Amino acid sequence: MTHTILNVQHLSKTVPSTEGELSILSNVSFQLKAGESLAIIGRSGSGKSTLLGLLAGLDLPSSGSVTLAGHQLNTLDEDQRAAVRAAHVGFVFQAFLLLDSLNALENVMLPLELADHPNPQQRARELLIRVGLEKRLKHPVNLLSGGEQQRVALARAFATEPDVLFADEPTGNLDSQTGETITDLLFAMNQELGTTLVLVTHDDQLAARCQHSIRLDAGCQMEFTCN
């Protein structure tokens, strides 16, 4: 029987503005079991990225709670949340966020080295081969194409074998064909490693490939569906 890895209860986020408190997320609740996948969908400005940030412990809610891998994030300070991220979380970003100063291999090695992995280079090499970049290992990342950069980002995200992978519009910067290839790769690796996947997208086709989806509109949870 699989356990609940992500439990979200009455999550709200407000920010101060010139016209008083502005609600950007209101009363979101759901649960996700280990190995499942969830798409967060909605239009631009609907609060998708805000929700992702709260789920990953990058930000704190104004009210409500997020429990990730048994840790109630809203009761932890920033350093404790960082420790939870280190142990359980991986990320893929729309803008890839690779470090220009490092080559592809070094980018993937970085989280492994941070986790004191015994053989970061070999593991990083295996992952890059897995994503089809065996001929690009030593390439400076700024010379890679968008698709290739996102593959490096995928390899980096799966490097530490996280329990939960958060992906923010992973195909947002890619053409549809490349986006599809990346999506295939993402789901395949997700399957292989049994990772829980939470992705933000405005692409309904991509969302349809996830087991669950949550639709947001102006910060409110409109529906939580099982596909």
Partner 1 sequence: MQLKLTSLLKLAIKQLLRERRTAELRILFFALVIAVASSSSIGHFSERLQGAMQLSAGEFLAADLVLSSSEALQPTQINTQYSDMLKTAHTLQFASMLATENSLQLASVKAVDDNYPLRGHLRSLRRLGGEEISGGRPQPGEVWVDAELLNSLNLTIGDSVEIGATELTLTRILTYEPDRAGNLLSFTPRAMIHHSDLTAADVLQPGSRVRYRQLWSGDAQTIRQQRQALQDQLLPHQRLEDLEDGNQQVSNALARAASYLNLASLTAILLAGVAVALSANRYARQRFDQAALLRCFGLSRRQTLWLFFTQLLTLACLASLIGTLIGWLTQLALFELLSGLLPDEIPAGSLQPFMAGIITSVVMLAGFALPPLIALGRIPPLRVLRRDLIPVAPATWVLYGSVLVTLTALMWQLNLDMRLTTALLIGGGCAALALGIVLFFSLKSLNFWLAKRNLAWRLSLGHLLRYPLNSVGQVLAFALILLSMALIILLRSELLDNWQAQLPQQAPNHFAINILPSQQPDFSAEIKSISSNVAPLYPVTLGRLTQINGQQASDLFDANARVMRTLQRDLNLTWTHQLPNNNTIVQGTWWQTNDSKHMQVSLEQELAKELGVAVGDQLTFHIAGLDYLAQITSLRTVDWNSMQPNFFVIFNPKDMKTTTHTLMTSFYLPEHSEQQRIDLAKHFPSISILQVDAVLRQLRDILAQVTLAIELILLFVLAAGITVLIAALQSTLTERVQQGALIRALGASRQLLAHTQRNEFALIGALSGLLAWLGCEISSYILYHFTFNLVWQPHIWLAALPLIGALLITSVGMLGTRKVLNSSPLQVLPR
Q: Which residues bind partner 1 (CB under 8 A)?
A: 49, 52-53, 56, 58-59, 78-79, 82-87, 89, 91, 93, 95, 97, 99-103, 106, 110-111, 113-116, 144-146, 168, 173
Minimum gap (Å) between residue 226 Cβ and partner 1: 26
- Cβ atoms of residues 143 and 101 within 8 Å: no
CB of 81 to partner 1, least distance (A): 8
Phi, psi of 73 (to 5 degrees): -60, -35
7 or 121: whose CB is closer to partner 1? 121
Q: Which C-beta is closer to partner 1: that of 15 or that of 188? A: 15
* Distance in Å, CB of 101 to partner 1, minimum: 4
Burial class, 91, CB count within 10 angstroms (exposed 0-12 / middle 13-18 / buried 19+): buried
Pairwise CA distance, residues 225 & 227, whole Å: 6
Nearer to partner 1 by Cβ, of 107 and 221: the residue is 107
Indicate the residue among 39 and 58 with the shorter CB distance to partner 1: 58
**Segment (H or E) for 197:** strand 196-201
C-alpha 15/C-alpha 162 separation (Å) is: 30
